[in-house]
Structure 1
Amino acid sequence: MTALDRAGRVVIVGTGVAGATAAQGLRGGGFTGTITLVGDEAEAPYRRPVLSKDLLAGKTDIVRAGLKPVAYWAEQHIDLRVGETVIDIDPSARTVALGDGGVLGYDALVLATGGRPRMLPGVSSPRVHHLRRHADVPALRGRLREGSSLLVIGGGLIGSEVASTARELGCAVTVLEAADRPLARLVPAPVGAALAGLHREAGVDLHTGVALAGVEAGPDTVTAIAVDGRRWRADAAVVAIGTVPNTELGARAGAAIDNGIVVDELLRTTVDGVFAIGDVASVPNTVLGGRYRGEHWNTAQDHGTAVARSLLGAGSPFDVVPWAWSNQFGRGIQVAGWPEADDELLVRGSIDERDFTALCRRDGRIVGAITMGRPKDTRTARMLIGRGGVVAAEALLDPHTDLAALAS
């Protein structure tokens, strides 16, 4: 499509950081038309990463977690509609149907529908929790008190952060992970082993390589049962085994779906006038080739900025190297790029001392990085990944080598 008329109509479905940033970017870019930001959550846009950290720990509340003061959206003439569901799209008429029977017309539609927690089949109980949105927090927070016990099923980013928060609150925590290490999708084996040590030292009963046969929820406890017969019981459980992208609206509109809503380098779907961003978007990997779906806050924010530029006719191929961060047991962990388990790992610093930059090299080029205690290296590593080209291992391992100089 051509650049959007600056007095046109934009509907953004999803009030997470991707959708909210898109709305802000449009206004900041001089768009004077109508912007309607629609989301099924009851709250104004908020910082989702605090769900498993400060919000769950009771250190902040949803007002302080807001992306902007609630009045901001009206001041920017952004029609924020919370607690509203979009149920259908008519791309030929360029309208969306709302759950309350209303209809919104659009010149451009942005789908920022995110994802939902992956469920364990046949498991439903008030003692079995998921953590994806603010509405999930109060019930789980009520379970986390000193002396209580918690099962965490899944040792990924959310599961690991929930475990850290629960231990901080004095809970006995057991983590069950199917892979051989925590954060197996994000970090290579040596880094995963260090994270496992971090959890165990903090008192987490961590079990890896667990194949679950099922979960039984009674009136007072939850029991996880492994295929090999082992059992773990706790007062409550959190299931954190990944997310499923909310592609249904895109599919109804006729957009191509492939592990997300397929978009091009300008974040356009295969349907004219419809864009997709954030966790739901399957984007071209302009650095390594192929496609990927970023499921992290920073990527969603970058998508929002990029799609606003695309809508205003100032877009360029989306080539931002993704990165994510996590805080666990007082340690900051950052992951950049696309690391894989079988990459060559070049470590600056010491993984054992939890002060390191681990660079993942594939066919001579840097494709990913993990840092602990060295946040400044993450930005430099992203530059190295985006630049491409072969980098000698000797230079990368030499502590006297200035990574920023290499990246430039």
Structure 2
Amino acid sequence: MGGFIIVGAGEAGTRAAFTLREAGYYGPIKLIGAETHLPYERPPLSKPDNGAVAMKVICSDEALLNAGITYLSGAEVAELDGAGQAIILSDGRSLAYDKLLLATGARPRKLSCPGAGRALDFRTYDDAKVIFDSAYASQRVAIIGGGLIGMELAAMLRGKDVIVSVIETAPKPLGRAVPLRFAAKMHTRHVDEGVDFHLGVGISEILDNTVLLSNGAEVPADVVVAAIGVQPEIFLAEKAGLATGNGILTNPFLQTSYRHIFAAGDCAAVEQHGGGYVRFESWRNARSQAQTAARNMAGAGEAFSAIPWFWTDQYDLGLQVAGLPQPHHQSVVRALPMGELEFYLDEGTLVAAAGLGIGNSVAKDIKLSEMLIAAGVSPDPAALADPGVNLKTMLKTAKSA
């Protein structure tokens, strides 16, 4: 028929296209992206280089050409015909496929208050350019949302002496993804840097130069940014009749309810061994799922099993989290010369680890912790807490056992 088609040219879609070639698939590959740019990474968008928004491309035109990947940029998919194995573009073109990968990612959640249209979204390169150009030309910026993106943006703007207010409906920032211990430390650092927080309060209305809060307070703002999270982009899948929930539902092999359609990245909710479906939002997850999905499209039978991992840089602090820390886990803290680690045990087994330190100082320890998690070790909590016990030695012992 029409070879393989990938809808979505972000991290997941682009990596999948190249992985198909590495896996030995030599048929036609079409990579479809709604944006007109070359495929690029999103994490650098919140970290401008010398004030300029960075576009870190995933690949060049030459790399796409050499791999025999047809890149259709600025193309919108209007409809997916799962039964007929075809997609219809917004310009009316119909493209047939043998297998399809949905890597449609996610879209920003929208505010519902009066004046919500005055708030800027933060998802794409073009979004980032508008936000930073506007922020640098203004006096005051209000960020609605105290999650990772909102706090990264706050740190970057404070570094440029922009007056920043963060408005969050929860009682604390960073509460959804970051372990409490480190969320509190990062919150304190933001306060020390001069960020003004309005916590546990909603938005009544956004005016031209003011955000009105539900408690009656007014937050002056020349620029307002909405950073309240994302929703999986599942419109095409829903319309085509694929099983969906908090994402496009897949089996462990990243196959959807239509056997010739796969999903990966922010849009995919993957069936778990213990039941239920989980959707992960991170750069590494998008990449790992894409590689697994591509190999399976090429004929492998590989279940997705990567350990969740993410990082954030704010001011001179670097946070990394591996695994999924939960409130019921036993916590073990280890002091480091330039930071701190926290390990999480579930009935004695190491299942997650997090670290906060200056710069990239925790990276090596978190990498070793990932390997310990993958090995399924049940370490002595006292050894985990002792900085004198080398994690690399602990891993060698686990492997030999």
Shift of 1:366: 2.5
Structure 2 Cα separation of the partners of residues 207 and 406 of structure 1:
44
Quote the sequence identity (%).
34
Work out whether 1:335 is the aligned partner of 2:321: yes
Task: Assess if the C-alpha contact under 8 Å between 2:141 and 2:162 holds in 1.
Answer: yes
Of the three residues 148, 153, 165, the one matched with 2:156 is 165
- Structure 1 partner of 2:25: 31
| Superposition map of 1:105-144 within 5 A | 105-124=96-115, 127-144=118-135
Of the three residues 353, 368, 374, the one matched with 1:386 is 374
Aligned to 2:244, the other structure's residue is in SS state: coil
| Superposition map of 1:7-406 within 5 A | 9-54=3-48, 58-59=51-52, 61-62=54-55, 65-124=56-115, 127-145=118-136, 148-208=139-199, 210-218=200-208, 221-226=209-214, 228-286=215-273, 290-349=276-335, 355-373=339-357, 374-388=362-376, 390-406=378-394
Aligned to 1:317, the other structure's residue is in SS state: coil
Task: Give the residue type in structure 1 aligned to 2:32.
Answer: V
- Structure 2 partner of 1:4: none
| TM-score w.r.t. length of structure 2 | 0.92
Shift of 1:311: 1.3
Q: Deviations over 1:366-391 (max 9, x none)?
A: 23221123111111222233333533
Aligned to 2:319, the other structure's residue is in SS state: strand
Structure 1 Cα separation of the partners of residues 29 and 261 of structure 2:
15
Task: Assess if the C-alpha contact under 8 Å between 2:45 and 2:54 holds in 1.
Answer: no
Larger deviation: 262-271 or 229-238? 229-238
Structure 2 Cα separation of the partners of residues 167 and 192 of structure 1:
18
Shift of 1:222: 3.1
Q: Measured at CA, do residues 181 and 366 of structure 1 come closer, stay the same or move farther in structure 2, by a change above 3 Å?
A: farther
Number of residue pairs matched by the alignment: 392
Task: Give the residue type in structure 2 aligned to 1:368.
Answer: A
- Structure 2 partner of 1:3: none
Structure 1 Cα separation of the partners of residues 350 and 168 of structure 2:
28
Task: Assess if the C-alpha contact under 8 Å between 2:138 and 2:222 holds in 1.
Answer: no
Task: Assess if the C-alpha contact under 8 Å between 1:144 and 1:171 holds in 2.
Answer: yes
Structure 2 Cα separation of the partners of residues 363 and 91 of structure 1:
44
Gap runs ≥5 in structure 1: 1-6
Task: Assess if the C-alpha contact under 8 Å between 1:144 and 1:169 holds in 2.
Answer: no
Aligned to 1:179, the other structure's residue is in SS state: coil
Structure 2 Cα separation of the partners of residues 381 and 112 of structure 1:
29
Task: Give the residue type in structure 2 aligned to 1:320.
Answer: A
Shift of 1:84: 0.5
Structure 2 Cα separation of the partners of residues 266 and 202 of structure 1:
45
Task: Assess if the C-alpha contact under 8 Å between 1:13 and 1:37 holds in 2.
Answer: yes
Task: Give the residue type in structure 2 aligned to 1:358.
Answer: E
Shift of 1:289: 5.6
Gap runs ≥5 in structure 2: none
Task: Give the residue type in structure 2 aligned to 1:214.
Answer: S
Task: Give the residue type in structure 2 aligned to 1:242.
Answer: G
Task: Give the residue type in structure 1 aligned to 2:51.
Answer: G
| TM-score w.r.t. length of structure 1 | 0.90
Structure 2 Cα separation of the partners of residues 124 and 32 of structure 1:
51
Structure 1 Cα separation of the partners of residues 352 and 114 of structure 2:
36
Task: Give the residue type in structure 1 aligned to 2:285.
Answer: T
Q: Measured at CA, do residues 215 and 405 of structure 1 come closer, stay the same or move farther in structure 2, by a change above 3 Å?
A: farther
Task: Assess if the C-alpha contact under 8 Å between 1:22 and 1:304 holds in 2.
Answer: yes
User: How large is the Cα RMSD of the aligned pairs?
Assistant: 2.1
